[in-house]
Amino acid sequence: MPKVLERELKWLSRGSPGFELFHADASLASAKSPPNGPQRKLAQRGSDIFVAVGKELRWSEVGLLKDAQERNGSATVAHRVLKTPAARPIQQLSVSPSGDYIAILTDHTCHVCILPAPSHLQSGESTPISLRSFQVGPTAHVLEKERLVSALWHPLSPTGNCLVTVTKDSCVRLWELDKDNRSTFDKPGLAVDLKKLVNAESTQADFTASVYGANKGFSPDDVEMQAASACFGGQGRDDEHGWASMTLWIAMTEGGVYALSPFLPNKWRAPATLLPSLSTSVVSKARAIGQDHEATESERRVSDQQCKWLAEVDAQEPMIIAGEGEFETVEVYSRPARPGSIPKLQGPFYLSPEPEFGEISDIYVIAPKIDDDALFDDEFDDSNTDEGLSVSIICLATSTNKVHVCLDLNGVEAEWLPTKRSRAITFDDGIIDSELLLFETIDLAHPESKTQGWPTFTASPTDRYELYATLPSGVYALTFRPWIGQLEDELANLSESGIDFRLNVLLESSNTDVDQPILIPDDEGSDASTAIAIIDPSADFVLFTVARNIPFSAALDLPSVLSPFAPEDDFIPAGALPAPEPRAPYQPAEVFFQSSAVPGLIKQANDKRILGTDLKSQVRFSPATLQLMTDAHRILSSETNRLGVAVADLFRRCERMRVELQDQIRKVKAIADKVDNVIGSNNMDDNELDGPGKIQNRIERSHEKTRDLNCRVEALRKKMLLLGGEQLSTKEQAFAAEVKKIAQSISLPPEAPTRPSAIVHLENSPEHRENDKSTGQLAKRMHEVQSLHDQLIKQAAEAAQKAGDENLRESRRSSMVGGGFRRQKLVQVMEMLERESALVEAVQERLARLGQV
């Protein structure tokens, strides 16, 4: 959700040229009439702003208003008046996608004016401009007919100049406007009465809208089918489902929601993914129904109609026209003649569970995203695909200041009436009541506001899943991003086990983020106009509305994806505190700037000589004088009451500021006391230094304590070393280091190669010296010594075993010979044992010397 950077922008404050763009004279501003329909008095074309003030249309540009404010010249005129043929106060404005036309709606009439180029409007002149205008439906939209509730521009129009008007009596008309052909403004391309269409059973029925002068018959649906608002299911983008942009949604005041699909002009453009997505869905649906033996006759008929409609579109050779970009092209097709130009009215769509309804005031639909898995191959990988939802989101605003967020889980596809009325009565051919899943109800009613209005929606220019709702209490921002990801994961990996539990947890835990960027006072919000959001060339994101001809605005944080000047990562510098949310500055009440009506009353009385020749003459008591005093009292009581309310509001604001200032003073005093405790001003003598000197003294004392602690730690460490024995000398430490170094150098690898040898090599032998020269490593020498040691041990063991065997033989032999001979042999054995013992001792000494090397 965008963060509010500033409230009540300076270039739109009172006294600035931007304020004069919206302001009107006192008589028009003081007129109070409850709104009986949507108030859309603001429109935009890029950074151009169009404002309806009474019967007058004004133009300005965001950069022009900012420059006028910077020049600080209140006398500078930063807007131009555009003359229109409107004879009544303008209620709605709508600029065509091409930027060539602007639709101007009053209660019952509709005019379309040709807009000048931006360069012509910004020529620097201040004279009014007379616009070339056409009246749309001079016999359809007149005072004798029902009032207009919506005027929409078709998102799939190739020229961007196809207008759809909806009246309160549920008559929908499609106008394919062409400034070179006046008849396109007089006669609609399509006209349908929804009250007739809802009861039609075949295309042979008459469901056209009534013409001027024809008698209007009675219909039982006159009350339940009073249209409140309408919108298209998509905006003609490539990432939307194919049927979305050609589906017209109509909301009734009593709560019913209907859909017309496909509702197309005679010539319509096809985005790049529209026909491939439709082909994929229609073919797969037809194949599934063909294999389903339980499919109803109505489902088979709808599938067959979609296949015929799509086949006729595929058979056409599209006309290629230039797109918005320099190298972009758009394919334009003709509307298929069969199954028909007017689709079947689908609905009513009821909300489940059914909420507590007021009257519906507006509807807004967010199109489902396209199914990339079904449209593209498995090898296609688009990592930049935006996270979205595969079902439509339908938002309904009510007169009770509540917003119902619904989901269309089944989806709306093209459907037509049968060509002939079936004689056989079947249950599946009747009206099927579809349902919309009520995901969330958002209560935006201000607890202190008692003003009744007509809530409306505004699409966000930065995020398709973000929406702005204009209510009498202000403008609210609704963001659906917190829950669409979780819901899409659940829908994509749908499993029947535990689905009820998971959906209940999702519904209870996932809520829409709500913020209020703009706050409107309670006494001025009854006729609040639908807000508009503008991103000007200087990368400023501005949201503003107007109420009682007074602008209310807010500057929002532009997402880094859209802002070329935004940093790559959002971070808060170290040590920086988060900035508080900006508060809107005080705006003086309009009553302070209105002149009193008493002087005019007195002037009128003087003209009629009710009070005599002048005010100083004697008052004559008469019925005329009594009536004059009564009128003056009524005017003064009304004016003083408004002044008292405005002054009371100012007094409450001043009291709140005083209380907040006292609270801030207490907080600052508490912080000052903490600072004094830190710097030690409360514990030092008066003779010591102040400020930084005290802090420096405390820092020096801390350093001294640290040095003392370090000395104590060093003394304890030396004492602990002496507990294990005397301290080693320098030579002993060097000898220990040398021993450690040699121990590391003679350490053998895990798998050291062994050289088998049965010969004992002496130290000074030539072979040993040659081996040392070749290796030059103590590790190899140690290995050889160990091998030699093992060999000698083995030889000693063999010698001892041999000596024992000889002793055994001598003892056996001595049993057969005499004692002298045995003694002689015994002496020889002892001598041999002594020689062997001497040899073993010499070897062990040699090994010991070698081990010490």
- DSSP per residue, 739-784: HHHHHHHTPPPTT-------SPPPTT-HHHHHHHHHH--HHHHHHH
For residue 546, is it within any domain? Answer: no
- The residue with greater pLDDT, 784 or 298, is 298
pLDDT at 614 over 80: no
What average pLDDT score do residues 531-546 get?
A: 87
- Local confidence band at 29 (pLDDT 50, 70, 90 cut-offs): very low
Short-list 433, 431, 435, CA closest to 201: 431
> 132 near 182, Cβ under 8 Å?
no
**Hunting for tokens 């209005």 — which residue is that?**
453
* Residues pairing with 360 in the sheet: 398
| pLDDT of the residue at 689 | 54
Domain with 251, as residue range(s), is: 144-443
Distances (CA, A) of 648 to 652, 763, 815: 6, 114, 142
27-41, 387-401, 539-553, range with the lowest pLDDT: 27-41
For the cut 60, the answer to whether the pLDDT of residue 609 exceeds it is yes
Q: How far apart (Å, rounded) are the C-alpha atoms in residues 656 and 664?
A: 12
pLDDT bin (cut points 50, 70, 90) of residue 215 is low
Does 603 map to a domain? yes
Q: Mean of the pLDDT values across residues 527-556? A: 88
- β-bridge mates for residue 112, sequence order: 103, 134
Average pLDDT over residues 832-836: 82
Q: Are strands 474-479 and 466-471 parallel, antiparallel or unpaired?
A: antiparallel
To the nearest whole percent, how much of the chain has pLDDT over 90?
31
Pull the structure tokens for residue 502: 């998971």
Position 752 scores a pLDDT of: 43
| Residue 299 φ then ψ, to 5° | -65, -40
CB atoms near residue 115 (< 10 Å): 22
Q: What is the pLDDT of residue 574?
A: 46
Average pLDDT over residues 439-454: 80
Give the position of tokens 């439906």.
137
User: Mean of the pLDDT values across residues 555-581?
Assistant: 58
Q: What integer pLDDT is reported at residue 726 of this predicted model?
A: 63
Longest dimension (CA), the chain: 186
Closest CA to 597 of 14, 30, 53, 22: 30
Over residues 190-197, mean pLDDT: 92
pLDDT at 449: 66
* CA–CA dist 54, 482 (Å, integer): 41
Question: Is 286 a residue whose pLDDT tops 80?
Answer: yes
Amino acid, single-letter form, for residue 59:
W
Distance CA 151, CA 231 (A): 9
| For residue 247, pLDDT beyond 90 | yes
pLDDT higher than threshold 80 for residue 698: no
Q: What is the mean pLDDT of residues 349-359?
A: 80
Paired with 535 in beta bridges are 541
CB neighbourhood size of 664 (10 A) = 10
End-of-domain residue from the set 443, 464, 496: 443
434-456 in b/e form (b: 16+ CB < 10 A) is: bbbbbbbbbebebeebebebbbb
φ/ψ region of 612 (left if φ > 0, alpha if ψ in -120 to 50, else beta) reads: left
Residues 642 and 782 in one domain: no
Residues 663 and 771 in one domain: no
Classify residue 349: in a domain, yes or no. yes
**Exposed, middle or buried by CB within 10 Å (0-12, 13-18, 19+), for 550?**
buried
Q: Is residue 118 part of a domain?
A: no
Q: What is the pLDDT of residue 430?
A: 44
Boundary of a domain, candidates 656, 679, 702: 679
**What's the distance, Cα to Cα, between the start and end of the chain in Å?**
79
85: its two tokens: 């043929």
Task: Put residue 474 in one of left, alpha, beta given phi > 0 → left and psi -120 to 50 → alpha.
Answer: left
Tell me, yes or no, whether 295 and 409 share the same domain.
yes
Res 628: pLDDT = 83
Token readout for 513 is 């983020």
Predicted pLDDT at 721: 74
- Output the pLDDT for position 431: 44
Shared domain for 213 and 352, answered yes or no, is: yes
Do 672 and 762 share a structural domain?
A: no
Beta strands in 47-88 (DSSP E): 48-53, 56-61, 80-83
Of the two residues 66 and 618, the one the predictor is more confident about is 66
Ranking 126-140, 241-255, 811-825 by mean pLDDT, the lowest is: 811-825
Identify whether 113 is part of a domain: no
Q: How sure is the predictor about 246, in pLDDT bands with cuts at 50, 70 and 90?
A: very high
Nearest Cα to 479, choosing from 470, 491, 468, 489?
468
Residue 118 has what pLDDT? 87
DSSP-derived letter for residue 40 is B
Element (H or E) spanning 691, and its range? none
| 644 vs 735 pLDDT, higher one | 644
Q: CB atoms < 10 A from the CB of 347, how many?
A: 22
707 pLDDT higher than 60: yes
Regarding whether 388 and 242 lie in a shared domain, the answer is yes
Mean pLDDT of the 547-571 span: 70
Is residue 91 within 8 Å of residue 39, measured between CB atoms?
yes
Segment 631-679, tens digit of pLDDT: 888 888 988 998 998 899 889 889 988 998 999 899 889 988 887 777 6
> Average pLDDT for residues 305-321, to the nearest whole number?
92
Backbone angles phi, psi at 331, to 5 degrees: -90, 130
Helix or strand (DSSP H, E) at 112: strand 110-114
Mean pLDDT of the chain: 80
The first and second tokens of residue 545, run together, are 């509305």
The CB density around residue 703, as the number of other CB atoms within 10 Å, is: 10
CA distance 814 to 823: 9
Whether residue 758 has pLDDT greater than 80: no
On whether the CB atoms of residues 224 and 252 are closer than 8 A, the answer is yes
What CA–CA distances, in Å, run from 657 to 107, 672, 837?
Answer: 44, 22, 111
User: Predicted confidence band at 44 (pLDDT cuts at 50, 70, 90)?
Assistant: very high
Q: Are 274 and 264 in contact (CB under 8 A)?
A: no
Question: Confidence class of residue 521 from pLDDT cuts 50, 70 and 90?
Answer: confident
Q: Given this model, what pLDDT does residue 114 score?
A: 94
Q: What phi, psi does 849 have (nearest 5°)? A: -65, -40
Q: Is residue 845 part of a domain?
A: yes
What angle, rounded to 10 degrees, do the helices at 778-814 and 766-775 form? 150
Looking up tokens 């009193």 gives: 596
* Cα Rg of the chain (Å, integer): 48
What pLDDT does residue 82 have? 93
Total count of domains within the chain: 3
Strand partners, 40: 92
Give the pLDDT band (50/70/90) at residue 581.
Answer: low
Q: Give residue 724's pLDDT band: very low, low, confident or very high (50, 70, 90).
A: low
477 and 459 Cβ atoms separated by less than 8 Å: no
Query: Three-state SS across 790-840?
Result: HHHHHHHHHHHHHHHHHHHHHHHHHCCCCHHHHHHHHHHHHHHHHHHHHHH
Using CA atoms, how far apart are residues 365 and 231, in angstroms rounded to an integer? 7
- Band (pLDDT 50/70/90 cuts) for residue 366 is very high
Half-sphere exposure of 286 (CA within 13 A, CB side): 16
Domain boundary among 679, 708, 731: 679
Contact 157, 174 (CB under 8 A): no
Q: Is residue 478 part of a domain?
A: no
Statement to judge: residues 668 and 766 lie in one domain: no
Of 29-43, 102-116, 268-282, 373-387, where does mean pLDDT reach its minimum?
373-387
Instruction: Label the pairing between strands 101-105 and 513-519.
Output: unpaired
Q: Is residue 351 a part of any domain in this protein?
A: yes
Give the SS3 label for residue 850: helix
653 and 800 co-located in one domain = no
pLDDT of residue 352: 76
Tens of pLDDT, residue by residue over 164-183, are: 999 999 999 999 999 999 99
Pick from 366-380, 486-500, 561-575, 785-799: least confident: 561-575
